[in-house]
Structure 1
Amino acid sequence: MSATPQPASPPEAAVSHLSTHLRLIGMAVLWGASWPWGRVIAQAMPPLAAASCRFLLASLILLAWLHRTGRLAALRGWTASRWAGMTLAAATGVHGYATCFMMGLQHVPAGKGALVVTMNPVITMLLAAWIFRERLNRVIGLGMALAAVGAVTVITRGEPWHVLDGRVGIGELLLLGCVVCWVGYTLIGRRVMAGVDALTTTGVTAALGAAMLLLTSLAVEGAAGWTTVLHGPANAWLCLVMLAVGSTAVAYAWYFDGVRTLGAGAASGYITLVPVFGVVFSALWLGEVVDASLLIGGTMAIAGTAVMNFGRR
């Protein structure tokens, strides 16, 4: 008879958790780096063709991963309603978000974009409280207010009255479109993707979204858009590959590992670091200037997100 397996000793468990924490930091680095990478691509390639190319590459990796882990066969048993839910999720979380992301970065510096999307958890929590009757508390409310004021400060360059006189630019509006699409994706997931693991959801929605982006690109930009992508500069292609492999496949894998090992609350706390890395990398790699409104508003937005995560626990 074989010996009964013994639980990991505290030092071994600590080492295991340390590696998980390091991977979650790596996830935040890759997601933060996606903003300057996206900015480089947006300045060199047609946005829709580049976005579809990114998700075609990412979906190939993710679908191969699903096949290797035995999850791909389970898709045969999905109902029509589940496929419809996945298609709706892909339309918002992949097609809509990627379109606004790439087109927004044609007009807005990457560091600013990374800070604007700190509005994601604020709007998601407000709508979840309204639709799903999730409970809020004073700490979450304080974090929401702080993050919202910080994001508005960044969007309006420290002059929030510009929201009323229509002087907010098209780039800022497109980045707010990113927020709307991601919030929609999150809330749709609560309704239609129950019982499906996160890796399968990511792989399927990436593949469906890539197909939507491809069709949209061909309809709007035509074959010339893809010709421009294929003949794009080497630095833009490097950023495109890093977006597909690093910021999509690898970063999601590390995030899911963190959720499985530490829990969703602890893992999601690392997302607070994403805009920090986004601003730092944009300044270092692209030479973007961090002015007072970006610094003050960004600090408020990041602090607000951290307070919200603390309040949820």
Structure 2
Amino acid sequence: MNSAPHVPAAAAPSHLATHLRLIGMAVLWGASWPWGRVLAQSLPPLAAAACRFLLATALLMIWLQRSGRLAALRGWSASRWGGMALAASFGVFGYATFFMMGLKQVPAGKAALVVTMNPAMTLLLAAWLFKERLNRVIGLGMVLAVVGAVTVITRGEPWHVLDGRVGAGEVLLLGCVVCWVGYTLIGRRVMAGVDALTTTGVTAAIGATMLLVTSLVVEGPAAWAAVPDAPMNVWVCLLALAAGSTAIAYAWYFQGVKALGAGAASGYITLVPVFGVVFSALWLGEVVDASLLVGGALAIGGTLLMNFGRR
């Protein structure tokens, strides 16, 4: 009996380009911290945040239009729009406000390490609210990440958390953590069935509107008069944040999720604080002291452990 002729198996598709894009995403998100620090030192924080997301929204809307997704928004229900508005109030308006106000007072490298608490707080609350299962590896990763972040916040003296000697800038950055965790958990309930690109574009547009209105009310029209006269380096950072850290980085991240899966793609986010510290030291001349190195190593190691434990 003759056997069927052997047909060579097709070569597995190379994901090299995908991995390179995900590294590029981590670079752009890491660079957002020194870029944001430059903006926070030069412009009113709410006006700067609004400018970033207004520019990003313009790019994202063009992207949605060209991909054919924009027309689908007409069929959305009022409850879906309400859910998007709630998500935008946390993930764009709240996060961007705390981001800019925190960076006005805290060095960019330190700020990038503080928000390594995001995954730990998200997983902890997801276990409580949605009954997600935790294990010992995830638990150890959470402890390391929080200890590392607290070490960075308190400059290596964590007992200062108890006596209230944590700076206002660090407290504002913890607001970033709260808002991002809220955005992530809200997304579990209100954004089901909507692709990531559409979610990003819509929440960016709603959040940009919130930031614009709040800036005009709180900071006044005078805050916007300073924007056209900002130095060239400020405009470069603003455009880089809008196009690079928002539109391009999100595009590369979503492509990575599609090609490799969410778990593999999200692992690259661990590199973000590394690039944030490196770029802040190189571009802004920020000092990397022992507490930043030790706390950063603990926080990043804890994040890696949590990713490993989830798999």
Q: Deviations over 1:174-196 (max 9, x none)?
A: 10000000000000000100000
Look up the match of 1:242.
240
The letter for the 2-side match of 1:65 is W
Runs of 4+ in 1 over 4 A off after TM superposition: none
Given the two structures, how large is their TM-score scaled by the length of structure 2? 0.97
> Counterpart of 1:135 in 2: which secondary structure?
coil
State the alpha-carbon separation in 2 of the partners of residues 156 and 217 from structure 1: 31
TM-aligned CA distance change 1:7 to 1:123, over 3 Å: farther
Counterpart in 2 of 1:164?
A: 162
2:208 match: 210
Deviations 1:108-136 (A, max 9, x none): 00000000000000000000000000000
Give the C-alpha shift of residue 97 in structure 1: 0.3
Counterparts of 2:25 and 2:281 in 1: how far apart (Å)?
19
For 2:261 and 2:244, how far apart are their aligned partners in 1? Answer: 22
For 1:88, the equivalent position in structure 2 comes to: 86
Instruction: Provide closer, same or farther for how the CA distance between residues 9 and 108 of structure 1 changes in structure 2, counting only shifts above 3 A.
Output: same
Matched residue, 2:30: 32
**1:230, CA displacement in angstroms?**
1.6
- Alignment partner of 1:100 is 2:98: yes
Distance 1:236 1:245 in 2: 14
* Equivalent residue for 1:70, pick from 51, 68, 71: 68
Partner of 1:200: 198
Query: Which of residues 223, 226, 239 in structure 1 aligns to 2:224?
Result: 226
Between the aligned partners of 2:135 and 2:197, the Cα distance in structure 1 is 31
Instruction: Name the SS for the 1:190 alignment partner.
Output: helix
- Listed as ranges, the matches of 1:50-61 within 5 Å are 50-61=48-59
**1:264 is aligned to 2:262:** yes
1:294 is aligned to 2:292:
yes
The number of residue pairs the alignment matches comes to: 305
Q: TM-score, normalised to structure 1's length? A: 0.96
1:132 alignment counterpart: 130
Aligned mates of 1:98, 1:217 — CA distance in 2 = 12
User: Which residue, 300, 309, 312 being the options, matches 2:310?
Assistant: 312
Distance 2:230 2:93 in 1: 22
**1:10 match:** 11
Residue equivalent to 1:251: 249
Letter in 1 for 2:293: L
Q: 1:150 to 1:126 in 2, by over 3 A?
A: same
- Compute the RMSD of aligned alpha carbons: 1.2
1:10: how far off?
2.1
1:7–1:292 distance in 2 versus 1, CA, 3 Å: farther
Structure 1: 5+ residue runs without aligned partners?
Answer: 1-5
Supply the distance in 2 between the matched residues of 1:46 and 1:124 (Cα, whole angstroms).
30
Percent identical: 79
Name the amino acid aligned to 2:95.
Y
Q: Distance in 2 between matches of 1:275 and 1:296?
A: 13
Tell me how far apart the structure 1 counterparts of residues 222 and 40 of structure 2 sit (CA, whole Å): 16
Long gaps (5+) in structure 2: 1-6
3-state SS of 1:10 partner: coil
What residue number does 1:3 align with? none
